[in-house]
């Protein structure tokens, strides 16, 4: 990480606070209209998908219905649920868009998400052993973690995680690695498991029992379509999220360097530990504007549709302080994620030898 002294950190804090204050002062009608438009689009797509699904015995209709429901879930999870639960729209004072009460269309309960994501991940971003989102305890993504033989097969873990992403996220708070190390007991996790069963049950009931049974003669088609929609959402959201912190240049941190850190240091860590990707307007919307992961991590509670507008100013702050602003095309960023998963599945000696072989020698 770029080293800044206390004065520089203070200056960084002031520069970023200035951007934040400008946006806060400008919040209003436009933001309310934006999020309501997204909610309306979500409702329309979900209703459209559900209504069309029973007619899925006609192949093009099946594709349309599955895509419609899948995109509805993506919009609801990424642009609406994730952002609302960050408190981005709390100022609207609308009980249906409030961070503390919002419940989203996925297995992970809102409460569990607020604990593991809003608090753990956003406070301790990329601090190895404190940010459990770094590798989700199933992937080794840096040499801070000692190589073990099972890491050699971690690409399989990655594929499983991305296909079953909503269940993985739902079970994240179980902290299996701590259970495994006997730091915590199963008994401690009973309340969480109950919550998981309630919310997971609700989601499975809705998509895999209720709607198929409602349309009994075509139940297998509806079941297949709903599984497809969930799969589309799982693949897309896990891909977007992996591009946020596991790209080539996204940095990691140790507990020691973050002990008793200032707000300025927290800002610096968010800037160096996150990565963006570029693309068109709808790519950003469907990623919940996590394509602006850097802006999101610096200002997690500003309405996400504002990130594109402030990105230029954040980049200027980075240039001023000599901090690398990590961005690139979606495909470039994603390929570095896949590369990282592959690289760290190898023992360090083999990985380093390969890296040396691939680095052009300086003359």
Partner 1 sequence: MSTKDPMETMTMLSSNTRTKALHWLGKQLSNQSNPTSWLDPLLSEINPMWVQAYTPARVQQVIHETEDTKTFVLKPAGRWQGFQAGQHVNICTEVDGVRRTRTFSLSSSPRLWKAQGQITLTIKRLPGGLVTNWMHDHLEPGDVIGLGEAFGDFLIPDPARPVLYIAGGSGITPVLSQLETMAARDYNAPVTLLYFVRTENDVIAGEKLRALAARYPALTLKIVATNESPDPRFLTGSDLDDVPGLKARQVFLCGPKGLMDLANDLLAQRGIREDQIHSTFFAPPAPARLEGDTGGNVTFTNSDVQVSSEGDANLLEIAEAAGLTPQYGCRMGICHQCSCRKTSGTVINRLTGEVSGPGEENVQLCISVPQGPVSVDV
Interaction between residue 57 and partner 1 (CB under 8 A):
no
**CB of 122: closest distance to partner 1 in angstroms?**
6
**CB of 268: closest distance to partner 1 in angstroms?**
15
How far apart are alpha carbons 169 and 173 in whole angstroms?
Answer: 8
With contacts defined by CB under 8 A, name the span among 34-42, 67-75, 144-152, 274-282 that binds partner 1.
34-42
**CB of 100: closest distance to partner 1 in angstroms?**
5
How far apart are alpha carbons 3 and 9 in whole angstroms?
Answer: 9
**CB of 131: closest distance to partner 1 in angstroms?**
13
Residue with tokens 């139940």: 219
Interaction between residue 87 and partner 1 (CB under 8 A):
yes
DSSP 278: B
Interaction between residue 18 and partner 1 (CB under 8 A):
no
How far apart are alpha carbons 171 and 174 in whole angstroms?
Answer: 5
Task: Using CB under 8 A, pick the residue from 7, 29, 191, 280 that binds partner 1.
Answer: 29
CA dist 95 → 12, 31, 114, 120, 136 (Å): 35, 16, 17, 25, 32
- Residue whose CB is less far from partner 1, 105 or 173: 105
Interaction between residue 99 and partner 1 (CB under 8 A):
yes
List of residues 6+ apart from 139 with CB closer than 8 A: 154, 157, 158, 161, 341, 344
**CB of 39: closest distance to partner 1 in angstroms?**
4
Task: Using CB under 8 A, pick the residue from 8, 36, 144, 335 that binds partner 1.
Answer: 36
Interaction between residue 194 and partner 1 (CB under 8 A):
no
244-283 footprint of partner 1 as x/- string (CB under 8 A): -------------------x--------------------
How far apart are alpha carbons 338 and 247 in whole angstroms?
Answer: 8
With contacts defined by CB under 8 A, name the span among 96-104, 146-154, 251-259, 312-320 that binds partner 1.
96-104
With contacts defined by CB under 8 A, name the span among 37-45, 143-151, 177-185, 282-290 that binds partner 1.
37-45
How far apart are alpha carbons 72 and 78 in whole angstroms?
Answer: 10
Interaction between residue 14 and partner 1 (CB under 8 A):
no
List of residues 6+ apart from 304 with CB closer than 8 A: 79, 83, 88, 288, 289, 290, 292, 296
Residue 53 token pair: 């699904």
How far apart are alpha carbons 113 and 85 in whole angstroms?
Answer: 9
């Amino acid at each position: 990480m770029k080293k800044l002294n206390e004065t520089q950190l203070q200056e960084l804090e002031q520069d970023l606070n200035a951007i934040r204050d400008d946006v806060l002062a400008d919040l209003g009608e436009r933001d309310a209209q934006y999020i309501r438009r997204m909610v309306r689009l979500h409702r329309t797509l979900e209703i459209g998908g559900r209504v069309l699904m029973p007619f899925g015995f006609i192949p093009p209709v099946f594709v349309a219905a599955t895509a419609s429901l899948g995109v509805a879930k993506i919009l609801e999870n990424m642009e609406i649920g994730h952002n609302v639960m960050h408190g981005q729209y709390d100022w609207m004072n609308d009980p249906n868009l409030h961070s503390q009460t919002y419940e989203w269309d996925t297995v992970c309960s809102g409460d569990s998400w607020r604990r593991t994501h809003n608090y753990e991940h956003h406070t301790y971003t990329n601090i190895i052993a404190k940010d459990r989102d770094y590798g989700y305890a199933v992937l080794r993504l840096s040499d801070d973690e000692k190589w073990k033989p099972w890491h050699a097969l971690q690409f399989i873990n990655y594929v499983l995680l991305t296909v079953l992403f909503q269940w993985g996220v739902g079970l994240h708070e179980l902290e299996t690695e701590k259970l495994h190390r006997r730091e915590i007991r199963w008994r401690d996790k009973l309340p969480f498991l109950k919550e998981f069963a309630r919310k997971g049950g609700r989601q499975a009931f809705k998509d895999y029992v209720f709607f198929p049974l409602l349309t009994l003669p075509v139940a297998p088609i509806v079941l297949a379509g709903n599984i497809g929609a969930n799969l589309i959402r799982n693949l897309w959201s896990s891909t977007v999220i992996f591009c946020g912190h596991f790209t080539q240049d996204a940095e990691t941190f140790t507990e020691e360097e973050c002990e008793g850190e200032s707000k300025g240091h927290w800002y610096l860590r968010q800037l160096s530990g996150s990565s963006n990707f570029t693309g068109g307007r709808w790519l950003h919307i469907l990623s919940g504007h996590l394509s602006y992961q850097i802006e999101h991590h610096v200002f997690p509670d500003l309405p996400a549709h504002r990130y594109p507008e402030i990105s230029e100013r954040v980049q200027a702050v980075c240039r001023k302080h000599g901090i690398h602003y990590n961005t690139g095309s979606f495909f470039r960023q994603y390929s570095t994620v896949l590369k990282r998963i592959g690289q760290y599945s190898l023992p360090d000696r083999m990985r380093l030898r390969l890296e040396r072989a691939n680095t052009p020698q300086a003359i």
